[in-house]
Amino acid sequence: MTPTGKIIYGLASSLKTVRSLSLYGCQQKCFCSSQSTNLKEVLDELVPREQKRVAEFKKQYSDTVIGNVTVDMIYGGMRGIKGMVYETSVLDAQEGIRFRGKTIEDCQKELPKAKGGEQPLPEGLFWLLVTSKVPTQQQVEWLTREWNNRAHIPQHVVTMLNNFPNQLHPMSQFSAAITVLNLESKFAKAYSDNVHKSKYWEYIYEDSMDLIAKLPTVAAIIYRNLYRDGTAVGAIDSKKDWSWNFSSMLGYDNKQFTELLRLYLTIHSDHEGGNVSAHASHLVGSALSDPYLSFAAAMNGLAGPLHGLANQEVLIWITKLIEKIGENPTDDQVKQYILDTLKAGVVVPGFGHAVLRKTDPRYTCQRDFALKHLPNDSMFKIVSQLYKIVPPILLEGGKVKNPWPNVDAHSGVLLQHHGMKEMNYYTVLFGVSRALGVLAQMIWSRALGFPLERPKSMSTDGLMQLVKKQPAQQTQAKAA
């Protein structure tokens, strides 16, 4: 163990060892190839194998160091600290997100699609996140039917939504409805009945499936109440996929919008475990709160302007740009507007990321969609200009580690083009999508017996005292 000028914690002796034993590296060996169309049956086979593999890994490497923590990391939002296990996705600074080892491009190519569609079905992504296997068309169809059968909303939840004041933000309504749905929790009931902890994951699975199935209807009721005079969402079509039903309940019958929704719900689903919404659900879930309460916590985090509201801020900024320099500005006009923005001490929204150090692949796939379906849209043209002009300006400033566009720089523009202009609602769409990732992880968190999350905190005085005890070269290393 190194001197305590840096706080050190451990799990694996080397990065090579971690990679060789990771789920990403071993999933093909360790996970079954079951062709059952019942996801629960597949999990019944997967869970014991993964429990054994993780137990053996922990036993062999439990005291091994994997990194160190600096004072700057502690004050800097814990960025860069490897402090949790999150199985469903991994974010690489250079290549972006991988869902169980699959890039977004891989998912677009390999995941099943709706008949006549080009974008992956979110059902397929959920199956991938839970099992690490690309599902068959039959497995995805089973999942669609299962969610359609579980989509009923209790009347007391509908009544509550219908009685909310129109001034209440859509995310506040969404979070409240999810919380109240926990009256339906099978896990909460099983826990009160003293179910054995080895069975926790089975009830978390049931709750997660129920919740994912109900979210589009809840979200659509909110949309209709706020923006469509409270008109009815209609019934679930048992023969249609999750995204199609969501699009229909929102009131959109445009096939291209449904395809966009399939893409949107897929790419926003997961972004490893350290972001606010994923970490919030992971933390609250570790207290054995049921998936409804845990996911509601995630949504309260997503509602923050530094997380899920970012695409809204991008649109507001672009709207102000158009008001100032017009719908068809020259590159020079756009450049000057950006410089004026930065001079005023305001960041250019939609650019940069806490982890990524390249263009966000989620941005790229949305750009590809726009190039194919709306190349002449005036707002898309401005987004394209920003893509070309902003990064060099930020690089010249020398203060930005990542000047490239992220997912939020594009998603709002696509929704606007297809007629969904209610920016306050966009984060609800994000929330419906994020359920796929965080609930898939919650199933595995309980299956692997992850304990209550309880990191050690320190006061500033305590940190100062700790640093003073270190050798001079340790505390002066950064200055040198």
Q: What are phi and psi of 96, to 5 degrees?
A: 90, -160
307 is known as an active-site residue = yes
Residues 6+ positions from 443 with CB-CB distance below 8 Å: 43, 130, 201, 204, 205, 208
Residue 97 gets which letter from DSSP? Answer: E
Tokens in use for 271? 């972004």
From 270, 408, 410, 418, the catalytic residue = 408
353 is known as an active-site residue = yes
From 268, 353, 417, 418, the catalytic residue = 353
Q: How many CA atoms lie within 13 A of 124 on its CB side?
A: 23
Residues 6+ positions from 359 with CB-CB distance below 8 Å: 404, 405
In three-state secondary structure terms, 421 is: coil
From 282, 307, 410, 417, the catalytic residue = 307
Beta-carbon neighbour count of residue 199 at 10 Å? 13
Closest to 447 in 3D by CA, of 100, 40, 2, 8: 40
Tokens in use for 476? 């002066």
Q: Cα–Cα distance between 66 and 119 in angstroms, integer?
A: 39
CA distances in angstroms from 254 to 3, 63, 418, listed in the order given: 62, 56, 8
Amino acid at 50: E
408 is known as an active-site residue = yes
CA distances in angstroms from 175 to 170, 188, 292, 407, 450, listed in the order given: 9, 18, 9, 23, 25
- Cite the active site residues: 307, 353, 408
